[in-house]
Amino acid sequence: MKKKKVIVAMSGGVDSSVAALLMKKKGYEVIGVFLKCWSDTKNSIGECAWKTERRFAMKICHKLKIPLVTIDAEKEYKKYVIGEMFKDYKKGITPNPDILCNEIVKFPFLLKTAKKFKADAIVTGHFAKVKKSKKKYFLYRAKDEMKDQSYFLYRLKEKDLANLIFPIGEYTKKEVREIAKINEFPNYGKKSTVGICFIGKVNLKDFLKKKIKSKKGKILGPDEKTILGEHDGVYYYTIGQRLGSRFDLNIKKVGKANMQRWYVAKKDIKKNTIIVAPKGHEILYKKHIIIKDFHLISENINKFKKGSHKVYSRIRHVGELVPSTLDYNKKTKKFELNLGIKLDGVSSGQAVVLYQGRKVLGGGVIYE
C-alpha cells in the first residue's frame, strides 16, 4: 500500500518541527515547506531574519530525513497582507494581519504546493483541532487553552478543513517542547514568535510611520470637549491602548486623575481627535457589537438568520470567552452580538470569533 503524502509548513519553530515528527511517526511521507514572506526584518548581524528561521527548519528536516522546499510568497504577502494593514490603520481601524495572512497567503500557497507534489493533506503546527462527523468537518479549540490558535483560523472553509491536519492540537505547549527535547531538536527551547505574522515583534508606531505620515491633533477627555493634550497621529493608536510616555501618548493630569491609568476610548478620523478616559469609565466599555464580513466555517448561515443563538465570543487571541447572544438584523442585513458582560478594548476592524462549546463556528469583523 502506497504511503500517504503530506506537506508540513515548517517555520523553524518547535511547533511545526514536532508536527513534522508526529506525521513521520504515523507513517506518512513528509515534505517540509518553508514560506518566505518578509525580507525587511534583520537579525543582529544584519542578515534577513527569515534565513535564520529557515536554517532551523533545514536542521529539523535533515534530522528527520525529509526534503525542505522554499516557497517565495513575499510579493503577495506585502501586497495583500501588509498593504491592506496600512490601509486599515489609515482608516482608523485596527486590523488583524495574522488572520488575513492565513486566509490570503499561507493556506492558499500551501494548497498550491500540496497540489504540485500531489500530497494528500496539509499539516501545520497550529494549536487547533479538526474533527470529522457525519461526513462534515469542524474546527475545534486546542487542548492547551493558553496556546489555542483557533482565533486566527476562523476564516477557513469546511473544504479547507478536509485537507488539513493539526497534529499538535492534542498536546500542550509543554508536551510539545518535551517531545522536541527528547528527540534532540535544536529548537526545543526556542522562544515562540510574537508580533506580526512573518515579521515578528516591532514598534507598531514606527512601523506605521513608514507609510502613514504623522498629523498632530487634540487629545480630548471623556466629555469630548476638554483638551488634555496633543497626539502626533490618530492612526498610530488603538482603542484600549494605555496612555504613557512608553507609547508617546501623554496628557495633563490634575488631582486624582494623576493617580489613574488612562486609555484610548475613541478615535475620530475626520476631526483628527483621540478621546481618552480613566480606567473603569463607562465610555471604555461595550456590550453590543455589529459584525461585518460574517463567516461560518461548517454551519449553514441561514440557520443563524432565524431567532437568537447562544454562543461564546472572543475579541482577541486567547482573550476571555464571553457568553453572548447572536442575532440577525433583517433591516441592516448584519449579524449583531450582545455580550453577557461589558468588554473594554473593543475596536472596529478587530476580529470577533464565535464558539459553541469547543467548536469554532466562525466570526467576522467588528463594525462598530
Domains of the chain, each with CATH number or no CATH: 5-125+166-204 (3.40.50.620), 213-280 (2.30.30.280), 285-366 (2.40.30.10)
Q: Rounded distance, CA 99 to CA 97, Å?
A: 5
CA atoms within 13 A on the CB side of 98: 19
Task: Identify the bridge partners of residue 5 per DSSP, sorted by sequence position.
Answer: 29
Question: What percentage of the chain carries pLDDT values higher than 70?
Answer: 95
For residues 178-184, give the mean pLDDT: 96
Nearest to 110 by CA among 168, 24, 39, 31: 31
In this structure, of 49-53, 106-110, 175-179, 215-219, the range with the lowest mean pLDDT score is 49-53
What is the predicted pLDDT for the residue at 87?
Answer: 93
Catalytic residue status for 48: no
Please say if 197 is a catalytic residue.
Answer: yes
- Residue 33's closest CA among 16, 15, 18, 48? 16
Spot the catalytic one: 37, 48, 61, 197: 197
**DSSP-assigned beta bridge partners for residue 32:** 8, 68
The pLDDT value recorded for residue 23 is: 97
Residue 200 has pLDDT above 90, yes or no: no
Q: pLDDT digit string (tens) for 28-52?
A: 999 999 999 988 877 666 677 888 8
Residue 295 pLDDT greater than 60, yes or no: yes
Q: What is the pLDDT of residue 28?
A: 96
- Kindly name the residue from 37, 48, 61, 101 that is annotated as catalytic: 101
Number of alpha helices (DSSP H) and beta strands (DSSP E) in the chain: 9, 17
pLDDT reading at 248 higher than 90:
no
Average pLDDT, the chain: 91
- CA-to-CA distance for 195 and 202, rounded, in angstroms? 7
What mean pLDDT is predicted for residues 261-280?
93
For 117-145, the pLDDT digits (tens) are 999 999 999 999 999 998 999 999 999 99
Report the candidate in 313, 310, 309, 247 with the shortest Cα–Cα distance to residue 286.
313
pTM reported for the whole predicted model:
0.91
Q: Determine the pLDDT at residue 205.
A: 86
DSSP 154-186: TT--HHHHTTEE-GGGGS-HHHHHHHHHHTT-T
Q: Between 161 and 318, whose confidence is greater?
A: 161
